[in-house]
Amino acid sequence: MKNEFDIFPKEETINRRKFDVYELRKDFPILSRLVNGKPLVYLDNAATTQKPSSVIENIKHYYTFENANIHRGLHFLSELATESYESARLKVKEFINAMSASEIIFVRGATEGINLIANTMCRANILKEGDEIIISHMEHHANIVPWQLLCERKDIKLKVIPITDDGELDLDEFKKLISEKTKLVSVVHISNSLGTINPVKEIVKIAHSYNIPVLLDGAQAAPHVKIDVQKLDCDFYVFSGHKMFGPTGIGILYGKTNLMNELPPYQGGGDMIRTVTFEKTTFDDLPHKFEAGTPNISGGIGLGTAIDYINQYDRLELTKHEDKLLEYATEKLLEIEGLKIIGKAKNKASVVSFVIDGIHPYDIGTLMDTYGIAIRTGHHCTQPIMQRYNLPATARASFAFYNTFDEVDKLAEGLLKVKKMFQ
Ligand code: PMP
């Protein structure tokens, strides 16, 4: 059967833009502003990324020329808005190579995607008393707390894959944690505080050999690496629009059709039903079953535009640039006496977490801000990682493809100034 979402034409093949970081930066208006009288050096991309003009303009265009509610009206604007929104869904489908656009559920972000799966698996009794869920020690709170809330409700046990001192998952220990009670494995693709790129394909393979489904938290992966959910063969994949140059308040839950069909709706309301009587309600097909109420229409459209933006470039060129930045930053930072990098996995992406002897990370962050340099300090919503390394917090610089080697130099110079002040 032809899927209703396949009515929208595929994007024309785009002529790739040559990667030139200084040209590309012009597309991001915020990058040329001053902060504290200094040119902004934005190195907090793991928290959220900046937006290109095309995303900003397209949201404006939507509200200026297309605004209407979707899926329900037959009038011109409603059809236009529906087409823009649904073509964004198709772009997401292509972006992660899902089998069908109906496997793409618009949610608020990675957090909501995980909560949706946790809640509906619980209500469907796929997760029940005595079951076990495996997560890892390097999860963001978004991939810990939803499962803990379940555990409280149903006496489900959470098991945790340990990490090595370098910040890699211990796969031998993972295998030992699997039992006949394991009903789900939920792990992060790329760690937001260590930068580790986990061997998720292998994890999926191991879990599937026991018929256990796998959810991957791709919040940090979507902006940095090419995602192919069919190749990964994961069952669920979540990510957030705002971390990949799109707007806040929009994100994606990918789920394999057969599994998503087994789950009940997450929320009830308009747009997710087929028929409603006071006696019984029947639900719409995927993806609408999971999209109750008026969605974040402009957010979805903005996310589609962010994907268009990324697609202008050869993804490998962007990744290569980010890899070089990471390598250069690691080198420069290790030259600073007393600085220790937390997270030394062989396979890493775009994040350098560090501590400096005798200086609290909060002081580092506050002083760096006075130089116009935005880095993150704290536990990065990964308190168990801080406990693992016995640290109260780390400072973290995280890169996007619009960052430059000059900015890495400024980061290192800034840190040297901070050190001097504390001597
Ligand atoms: N997982 C990871 C690895 C993250 O880095 C984040 C955001 N820091 C999240 C989940 C949650 O994303 P959001 O707040 O956009 O839902």
Do 76-311 and 315-418 have matching folds?
A: no
Task: Give the residue among 182, 187, 212 at the shortest CA–CA distance from 198.
Answer: 187
Q: Two tokens at 224? A: 């940095």
Amino acid at 291: E
Give 168 Cα–ligand 1 centroid separation in angstroms: 19
Question: CB 187: neighbour CB atoms within 10 A?
Answer: 25
Rounded average pLDDT over 32-48: 98
Rounded average pLDDT over 369-398: 97
Rounded average pLDDT over 269-281: 94
Per-residue DSSP letter, 243:
G
Bridge partners of 94, per DSSP, are: none
Note whether 174 and 204 are within 8 A (CB).
no
Give 142 Cα–ligand 1 centroid separation in angstroms: 6
Q: Are strands 273-276 and 251-255 parallel, antiparallel or unpaired?
A: unpaired
Q: Two tokens at 3? A: 């899927």
Phi and psi angles of residue 236, each rounded to the nearest 5 degrees, phi first: -135, 145
192 lines ligand 1 (CB under 6 A): yes
Question: CB 206: neighbour CB atoms within 10 A?
Answer: 17
Assign 29 a pLDDT band (cuts: 50, 70, 90).
very high
Q: Has 381 been annotated as catalytic?
A: yes
Q: Two tokens at 263? A: 């789950």
Per-residue DSSP letter, 11:
P
pLDDT of residue 423 exceeding 60, the answer is yes
pLDDT > 90 fraction of the chain, expressed in percent and rounded: 94
Give the C-alpha separation, 376 to 398, whole Å. Answer: 8
Q: Of all atoms in ligand 1, which is nearest to the CA of residue 380?
A: 8
Phi and psi angles of residue 235, each rounded to the nearest 5 degrees, phi first: -90, -35
User: What does the angle CA 303 – CA 304 – CA 310 come to, to the nearest 5 degrees?
Assistant: 90
Look at residue 348 in the predicted model and tell me its pLDDT.
98
66 lines ligand 1 (CB under 6 A): no
Assign 153 a pLDDT band (cuts: 50, 70, 90).
confident
Task: Give the residue among 175, 178, 204 at the shortest CA–CA distance from 189.
Answer: 204
Give the C-alpha separation, 49 to 335, whole Å. Answer: 28
DSSP codes joined into one string, 21-66: HHHHHTT-GGGG-EETTEE-EE-BTTT-----HHHHHHHHHIIIII
Domain at 76-311, CATH from 3.30.750.24, 3.40.640.10, 3.40.50.300, 3.30.497.10:
3.40.640.10
Look at residue 13 in the predicted model and tell me its pLDDT.
53
Bridge partners of 236, per DSSP, are: 215, 255
pLDDT in tens, 296-354: 999 999 999 999 999 999 999 999 999 999 999 999 999 999 999 999 999 999 999 99
**Mean pLDDT estimate for the chain:** 95
Give 102 Cα–ligand 1 centroid separation in angstroms: 23
pLDDT of residue 6 exceeding 50, the answer is no
Topology of the domain covering 315-418: Aspartate Aminotransferase, domain 1 (3.90.1150)
Rounded average pLDDT over 165-187: 98
Rounded average pLDDT over 209-227: 98
Look at residue 14 in the predicted model and tell me its pLDDT.
57
59 lines ligand 1 (CB under 6 A): no
Output helix, strand, coil percentages for the chain, rounded to the nearest 5. 45, 20, 40
Look at residue 72 in the predicted model and tell me its pLDDT.
79
pLDDT > 70 fraction of the chain, expressed in percent and rounded: 97
Give the C-alpha separation, 96 to 163, whole Å. Answer: 28
Give the domain ranges of the chain: 76-311, 315-418
Rounded average pLDDT over 414-418: 98
Residues, the chain: 423
Q: Of all atoms in ligand 1, which is nearest to the CA of residue 240?
A: 15
Look at residue 12 in the predicted model and tell me its pLDDT.
46
Note whether 28 and 402 are within 8 A (CB).
yes
111 lines ligand 1 (CB under 6 A): yes
